[in-house]
Amino acid sequence: MAARNPGVEYDESWIQNIYINLPAVKRRAETLGTRRTVKKQWQAAWLLRAVTCIDLTTLAGDDTPSNVERLCYKAKHPIRGDLVKALDIKDKDITTGAVCVYPSRVADCVKALKACNGTNIPIASVATGFPTGQTPLKTRLDEIKQAVSSGAREIDIVINRTYALTGDWKGVYNEVRLMREACGEAHLKTILATGELGSMVNVYKASMVCMMAGADFIKTSTGKEGVNAILPVGLVMVRAIREYHHRTAHKVGFKPAGGIRSAKDACTWLSMMKEELGDEWTKPNLFRIGASSLLGDIERQIFHYVTGRYAAAHELPMA
Ligand SMILES: O=C[C@H](O)COP(=O)(O)O
């Protein structure tokens, strides 16, 4: 992870008179989304980079120690052995960015990662009454502390949408500040649940307020809202990150999450990061993709890449 973002004093002027040129944002998002896929010779590199940025997630009511164990093994060995061999990369170099689970499953992750030699992989835990955040503040803070003491190194909190929707941005700031304190050494990711914020201006304000309060990452969604990670919202958030960096020199990471299931989508998000914020923001210390079922498609595409390459190499010339 990048250096911690200490945050700054709350400053209302940073979120006043915000104007978002929605048609322009939508046009830009459309260009990114419909662009031709990555050039053939770079495909494997992009796909592998995307793998290293995945927060491999399971956030289901029926999670058990055994599916968490499989998740951790997959995080440690995200690409099938024969494909790793064909790509001529060292398995140990490629793991997912983190695993992401509910607080009560963190201890299972600790055990499973130890068993598969994956203790270098951070455990991210959602907390604070995920996904709605509708529990008393003390309960939400205690949940963070419990997840950290069980072994989580990253905490994904949800912001208080009631405060955001009623314009109480100082209220959002104060809570996130307390959540950051409760995290101790663990990194803080703040989930905005953008599908419930009502407007792009609110998305921008929520992004800025969370960063002012010390978020190390801002994250689009829980994966449980009606609308989750979409490019126009992502653009507004990364532009807030750019503005915050410009004002404070602190680099805050970005995590789109929810509904990202195809390798092509992952590459589109990566290219958005590269174009909007630069190469530095395309690595796991500043970019993560929260996803439960993306890895399968990436592995499939790597398989096509590898088999295509060999088929081409062995092709007979025309007689
Ligand atoms: O934070 C991660 C999301 O909950 C994952 O959403 P997904 O299951 O749609 O990939």
> pLDDT for 129-188, tens place per residue?
999 999 999 999 999 999 999 999 999 999 999 999 999 999 999 999 999 999 999 999
> Residue 5 falls within a domain, yes or no?
no
> Residue 176 falls within a domain, yes or no?
yes
Q: How many Å lie between the centroid of ligand 1 and the Cα of residue 224?
A: 8
Could you tell me if 176 and 213 are in contact, meaning their C-beta atoms sit under 8 angstroms apart? yes
Look up the ipTM and state it: 0.97
> Residue 7 falls within a domain, yes or no?
no
What pTM value is reported for the model? Answer: 0.94
> Residue 135 falls within a domain, yes or no?
yes
Residue 319's pLDDT is: 45
Q: Whose CA is nearest to atom 2 of ligand 1?
A: 290
CATH number for the domain harbouring residue 54: 3.20.20.70
Q: Which residue has the tokens 């990369």?
A: 89
- pLDDT tens figures, 103-113: 999 999 999 99
Pocket of ligand 1 contains residue 54 by CB under 6 Å: no
Q: Is 264 a catalytic residue?
A: no
Q: How many Å lie between the centroid of ligand 1 and the Cα of residue 96?
A: 15
> Residue 1 falls within a domain, yes or no?
no
Q: What is the 3-state secondary structure (H, E, C) of 171-209?
A: HHHHHHHHHHHHHCCCEEEEECCHHHCCCHHHHHHHHHH
Could you tell me if 203 and 25 are in contact, meaning their C-beta atoms sit under 8 angstroms apart? no
> Residue 108 falls within a domain, yes or no?
yes
Residue 316's pLDDT is: 56
Count of structural domains, the chain: 1
> Residue 73 falls within a domain, yes or no?
yes
Catalytically annotated residue among 219, 251, 264, 274:
219
Domain around 269: 12-310
Separation of alpha carbons 59 and 308, rounded Å: 35
Pocket of ligand 1 contains residue 258 by CB under 6 Å: yes
Could you tell me if 256 and 229 are in contact, meaning their C-beta atoms sit under 8 angstroms apart? yes
Q: Is 219 a catalytic residue?
A: yes
> Residue 229 falls within a domain, yes or no?
yes
Pocket of ligand 1 contains residue 290 by CB under 6 Å: yes
